[in-house]
Structure 1
Amino acid sequence: MAEQRVLVTGATGYIGGRLIKKLLDRGHAVTAMARSLGKLGCRPWAGHPLVRLAQGDVMDQASLERAMEGCSAAYYLVHSMTPGARDFASTDRVAAENMARAAETQGLSRIIYLGGLGDESDAHLSKHLRSRLEVARVLREGRVPVTFLRAAMIIGSGSASFEILRYLTERLPVMITPRWVRTECQPIAVSNVIEYLSGCLEHPETTGQTYDIGGPDVLTYAQMFQLYAEIAGLPKRLLIPVPLLTPHLSSLWINFVTPIPTILAKPLVLGLRNRVVCAENRIREIIPQPLLTCREAIATALQKVQQLDVETCWSDAGFQPPPEWLDCGDAPYAGGTLLGVSYHIKIAARPEEVWPVVAALGGETGWYYGDWLWRLRGFMDRIVGGVGLRRGRRHPSEIRVGDALDFWRVLQLEPGRRLRLLAEMKVPGDALLDFELRPAGPEGEHTEIIERSRFLPKGLWGLVYWYATYPFHILIFKGMLERIARQTGRAAGPAKPLGPSSTTSCALPGGP
C-alpha cells in the first residue's frame, strides 16, 4: 500500500525518469508531471497502478497546483539549461517562484530539490552553478520547507557529463585542454543520487536541511579522463593544458567532438573551472548506502551503454511544442505557405511487418539512403551550434514519444501506423517528417507507406533554404522510401510522388 503520494516534476528528464521507478519500487504513489502527456505515456512506468500522469509546466502556476492535488510532497527536478533555452537563469528563477507559491497553496509538507555544489560568495562561480543555488534560495523563500541536495558531476549512462567524458576520451588520444582539467571534482554515481533522493522522503529529519552528496573519490578532470581510458581499454591519453582555451572555445570543441550542443556545453564548461567538493557528509549517516567509486560508476555506465540498457538520457529532457500550423482552425492564409515533398509506395507485407524498419530510423541504422548527405547536413548543423547527428538515439529499435533521433524529435507515435518527427536542427522555419502506414489490398496483406516532408519557412531565408535544398529533398526522400521497402525483403513498386509540393499550412494531409 502506498505510503504517500508525491509529485515528481521533470518526470521525463534524466533524473526524474529514474527516480519514479525507485519510488514505485518502494510503494509510493507518484504523480508524474511533464509538459507532454505523450512523452509521459511512453515511459515504462506510465501504466503502473500507483502512477498518475499530469500535464503541467513550471512556468504556469495553475498547472502546478492541479498536478499537486492529493500530494503531500514534491520533487523539484526542473531546469531550463536545455538546447533552445536562452536566459535559463531568469527562467529558472520564475519557475522556482511558481513552485514555491503552488506548494504553499496546496499545503505540501515539503519540497525536495536536487541542485549543484558551489559557493555563492565566490565571485568566479559559473552562471550555471549560481543559478542552481539561486533556485534553492527562491524555493526556501516560500513557506514550504525545502530539502536541498547539492551534487557535483553525476556519472551514469546517458548523462550529459558522462557523454562529454566518454566522447572526448574515446576520440582524442591527444587533448589540448584548458586549465580546468586540473580542477578537483567529487563525482557521484547516478544510482547513489537516486537512493539519496528517494531516501529523503522516508527520513523526516531531512526536512528543511541542505546536504552535500558525493562519491568517495575526489579527482581532477584529467584523472577522470585517464581513468575512463583505462576502464575502456584505451591507451593513456596525452593531456596538454594551455591557458589560451576560453570556455567559449572549449564549448565549441565539445560541440564538435561530442553529441552535446554548444548551448548546453558552454554553461557546463564554465562550471568546470569551479572546485566542487563536498564540505560535509552528514547525509551518509542518515541514508547509509554503498557509494560507488568513480571507477565503479564509470564501469557501470559504460557497461549499460554497451548493453543498450540506457534508462534515461540527457537528450530526453526538454519539450519543443508542436508547430501551431499542425492545429488547423485559422483562415487558410493565416499560416503561410507550407512547402513539402510527399511520396508513397506499396509493399507486399503487412503494416506490423513494415513498422520495425520504419521505427529503426536514425542512430546506428542511419536513414537508409544518402547517409553521407545526412552526415553532411549534421556536420553543417554542428558548425552553427545545432545538435547535429551525434545525438543518435536512446535504443536501436525501441522508440517512444519525446525520443531524440539524431536531429529529429519524436512528436507523435502510433506503433504500426504513424511516426511523426519534428526537426531540431538549425533551420529557418519549422520542418516535419511524417511516415504513415496504411493497410492495402483486399485483406490488408499489403502496406502503403506515405512519407511527407513539410516545411513552413520563416522569412526570405526560409524560402531560399527550401528551394536551394529542394533537389536534395527529392533525391533523399524518394530514395529513403524505396530503401525502407527493400529493407523489409518484400516485393514493392517504385516510390511515386503524392500531392502538390506546396499548400496552405492548415491543409496538412493526414491531420495532426
Structure 2
Amino acid sequence: MAIADEGTAGAPRRRVLVTGATGYVGGRLVPRLLDAGHTVRCLARDGRKLRDRPWSRRQGVAVVEGDLESRAETARALADCDVAYYLVHSMEVAGSEYGERDRRLALQFAEEAERAGVERIVYLGGLGETGPDLSDHLTSRREVERCLRSSAVPVTVLRAAMIIGSGSASFEILRYLVEHLPVMITPKWVSTRCQPIAIRNVLFDLVACLDEPRTIDATLDIGGPDVLTYRELMQTMAEVRGLRRRLVVPVPVLTPRLSSLWIHLVTPMSRRMARPLAEGLRNEVVCSDGRAQELMPQRLLGVRESMELALANLEAGRVETKWSDAGPVPGDPDWSGGNTFVDAWSVDVNAEAETVFRAICRIGGGHGWYGAQWLWSLRGWMDRLVGGPGLRRGRRDPTDVEFGEALDFWRVTDLDRPRALALRAEMKLPGEAELAFRVEPPRTAGGPTRLVQTARFVPRGLLGLAYWYAVLPLHAYVFRGMLDGIRRAAESEADHDGDSQHPIERVEPTSHAAASEAARSVATPIHEGPSDA
C-alpha cells in the first residue's frame, strides 16, 4: 500500500525503487520524483557512482548497492517499495547476447517484485510496430515488456522513439553525423518516419503516471508533436547548428553491420552499441494514438525547440546525465604484482592542493590533455579504427568529474577529493592501463604542493610488452607536457605567475623488475570495490 502521508499537490507519497539510476534517464528521473514528494531508493552495483550527484544528498533518497543478477540483492532492493521503475538494458555490457540477458533479468525482477508486494512496475520501452521485420533491439524491448508482465504486478509501459536531450545516445549520434559529414552516404532508413520526444517530456510522463490510475497496466505511446523522416531530422539539426544543408545519399547496400561501423567511426558510440541502434532505425516508430497526452497533458516540445534546448545545455555545461554514464567500472588488476610496469613523474606546484586538484579534473573533453594534444588526437583516431571509444565521448561537465563517468577513452575508477584521481583505460590495448594522479599537501607552511602522476600497465603477452616499450619513449614528452600544463593552470588560478622553476622529475625506474616496489612507493591506494554497469 502507498504511504499515507501526502506529497506535493496532495498526491500520495510513495516509496519508489529506481533501477538504472546511473543511466541517462534514471539519473534525471530521481530528482524529479523527489520534487514530486516521493521517497526514492536507487539500486546500483557501486554506490560511488551516485555519491556526487547533486540529488544524492537530498532528504528522501537512499542508495542500495546490489546487482540485478542476484535474486537476494534484487529482493532486498524491492522490499517495502510501492513502485519500481525498470530502466535497465544490456546493449553495452553484453554485446550480441544483450537480448537473452535482458529477458532473464526482467523475468527475475518481475518474480521478486510480486514476492515483495510491489503495487506497480513502470517500464520505459521502445516504439515500433510488431511483426517479422521488427529489429532485434525493438524485439528485445517487447520481450522485456512481456517478461515484466509475467507476474501479478501491474505494469505501466511507456514506449518512446528517439529521445532528444543533451547527452542522449540517439541525439549524440544525430549531432555527430550532421556536424562532421556535409555529405552522407546512408542506408535506406533515412526515409523511415519517427516521432522524437524531448527528455523533459519523457520525465514528465514517467512521474505523472504514478498519479493517474488509468495508466495502471496500460501501454502508452509517447512522442512529441512532430513526425519526420531521419533525413528531415538531419536537415533540422543542420539548420539549428547554423550549418549548410547536408547532402544525404541513401544506398541499398549498407547492411546493419556496415552501418554500425560507420556510426562507430563518426560518432562516440561503440560498434557494440551502435549495431542494435542502427538496426532499430529501419522500423517506423510513430505513436499509434494520443492516449498518453489525454491522460497526462503537458506542453510537448517540437523537434527544433528540443534540439535548441539540448544544444544550449551542452554549450553551457549543464548536462545532468550522459549516455556513457552507465558504462561498467572495471575492477582493479593486481597493480602491485610482478607483471606490472610503472612510470611515475612529479612536480611541485605553487598552489593549494584544492587548486591543483581542480586543474587535474579539467583534463579531457573540449579542454584537452594540457600537452601533446596532437599525439592524443592521433591515439584517439587509431583507437576508433580498431573499435575503441576514441576521444569522442568527451566529458559530461567541463570542470568537474564524478566516479564512474567517461573521460574520452578513460573512465574514472577512483576519486578522493582533493587528493587522488585514477583513470582506467577503455581504449583498445594489449593489456590493462591506468593513469593516476596524487596530490600531496605542502610539507612546510607556505611550501609547494606536490603532484605525482603515475602510469601503470599490465601487459598481455608479448604484444603487451612490445606496446609498453614502444610508447615508453613518448612518456617523457607527453607526461612532462601534461604536468607542466596542470602546474601552469593551477598557479594561474592561484594568482601566481604560472612559471615556477620547480623541475618535472621521473620518480621511479620503469624496469619490469622494479615495478612491484614502485607501485608500493608511488601508487595512491585505490579503493577496491565491485564494478558497476
TM-score range relative to shorter protein: over 0.9
Q: Which of 399, 402, 416 is the aligned partner of 1:400?
A: 402
Distance 2:225 2:328 in 1: 35
* Paired position in structure 2 for 1:112: 122
1:187 maps to 2:196: yes
1:452 maps to 2:454: yes
**Aligned 1:413-428 pairs, distance under 5 A:** 413-428=415-430
1:511 maps to 2:525: yes
Q: Secondary structure at the match of 2:91?
A: coil
Q: Secondary structure at the match of 1:280?
A: coil
Q: Structure 1 385/298 Cα, relative in aligned 2: closer, same or farther at 3 Å? A: same
Q: Give 1:69's aligned amino acid.
A: A
Gaps of 5+ in 1: 327-331
Q: Secondary structure at the match of 2:238?
A: helix
Q: Secondary structure at the match of 2:367?
A: coil
Cα-to-partner distance string for 1:487-508 (whole Å, 9 max, x where unaligned): 3315242221223424349955
Cα-to-partner distance string for 1:376-426 (whole Å, 9 max, x where unaligned): 111011001111001111111021112211101111112221111111111
* Paired position in structure 1 for 2:282: 273
1:359 maps to 2:361: yes
Distance 2:69 2:129 in 1: 27
Alignment check: 8 A CA contact 2:436 2:524 kept: no
1:21 maps to 2:17: no
* TM-score with structure 2 setting the length: 0.91
1:99 maps to 2:109: yes
* Paired position in structure 1 for 2:132: 123
1:311 maps to 2:339: no
Distance 2:472 2:112 in 1: 49
1:63 maps to 2:60: no
Distance 2:446 2:74 in 1: 46
Q: Which of 35, 41, 54 is the aligned partner of 1:31?
A: 41
Alignment check: 8 A CA contact 1:409 1:423 kept: yes
Q: CA RMSD in A?
A: 1.8
**Aligned 1:224-239 pairs, distance under 5 A:** 224-239=233-248
Distance 1:283 1:269 in 2: 27
Moved more, 45-54 or 280-289: 280-289
Q: Which of 153, 156, 160 is the aligned partner of 2:165?
A: 156
Distance 2:307 2:500 in 1: 47
Give the deviation of 1:101 after TM superposition.
Answer: 2.1
**Aligned 1:139-178 pairs, distance under 5 A:** 139-178=148-187
Q: Give 1:43's aligned amino acid.
A: R
* Paired position in structure 2 for 1:485: 487
1:47 maps to 2:57: yes
Distance 1:52 1:454 in 2: 35
Give the deviation of 1:479 after TM superposition.
Answer: 2.9
Q: Structure 1 490/474 Cα, relative in aligned 2: closer, same or farther at 3 Å? A: closer
**Aligned 1:284-299 pairs, distance under 5 A:** 284-299=293-308
Give the deviation of 1:194 after TM superposition.
Answer: 0.5
Distance 1:336 1:96 in 2: 43
Alignment check: 8 A CA contact 2:440 2:451 kept: yes
Q: Structure 1 435/84 Cα, relative in aligned 2: closer, same or farther at 3 Å? A: farther
Alignment check: 8 A CA contact 1:381 1:387 kept: yes
Q: Structure 1 113/71 Cα, relative in aligned 2: closer, same or farther at 3 Å? A: same
Distance 2:428 2:173 in 1: 22
Distance 2:59 2:86 in 1: 23
Distance 1:233 1:89 in 2: 39
Q: Secondary structure at the match of 2:433?
A: strand
1:463 maps to 2:465: yes
Q: Give 1:264's aligned amino acid.
A: M
Alignment check: 8 A CA contact 2:188 2:250 kept: yes
Distance 1:46 1:257 in 2: 35
Distance 2:339 2:195 in 1: 53
1:137 maps to 2:146: yes
Moved more, 347-356 or 17-26: 347-356
Q: Structure 1 32/445 Cα, relative in aligned 2: closer, same or farther at 3 Å? A: farther
Cα-to-partner distance string for 1:231-265 (whole Å, 9 max, x where unaligned): 22222111111112222222222212222222211
Q: Secondary structure at the match of 2:351?
A: coil
Q: Give 1:392's aligned amino acid.
A: G
Moved more, 376-385 or 335-344: 335-344
Q: Structure 1 301/410 Cα, relative in aligned 2: closer, same or farther at 3 Å? A: same
Number of paired residues? 504
Give the deviation of 1:105 after TM superposition.
Answer: 2.2
Give the deviation of 1:227 after TM superposition.
Answer: 1.2
Distance 1:367 1:475 in 2: 13
* TM-score with structure 1 setting the length: 0.94
Distance 2:390 2:215 in 1: 42
Distance 1:40 1:175 in 2: 39
* Paired position in structure 2 for 1:206: 215
* Paired position in structure 1 for 2:14: 4
Gaps of 5+ in 2: 1-5, 8-12, 492-497, 527-533
Q: Structure 1 212/411 Cα, relative in aligned 2: closer, same or farther at 3 Å? A: same
Distance 1:150 1:388 in 2: 32
* Paired position in structure 2 for 1:329: none
Q: Secondary structure at the match of 1:456?
A: strand
Distance 1:232 1:289 in 2: 27
**Aligned 1:323-338 pairs, distance under 5 A:** 323-325=332-334, 336-338=338-340
Q: Structure 1 336/131 Cα, relative in aligned 2: closer, same or farther at 3 Å? A: farther
Q: Structure 1 196/430 Cα, relative in aligned 2: closer, same or farther at 3 Å? A: same
Alignment check: 8 A CA contact 2:68 2:109 kept: yes
Identity %: 50
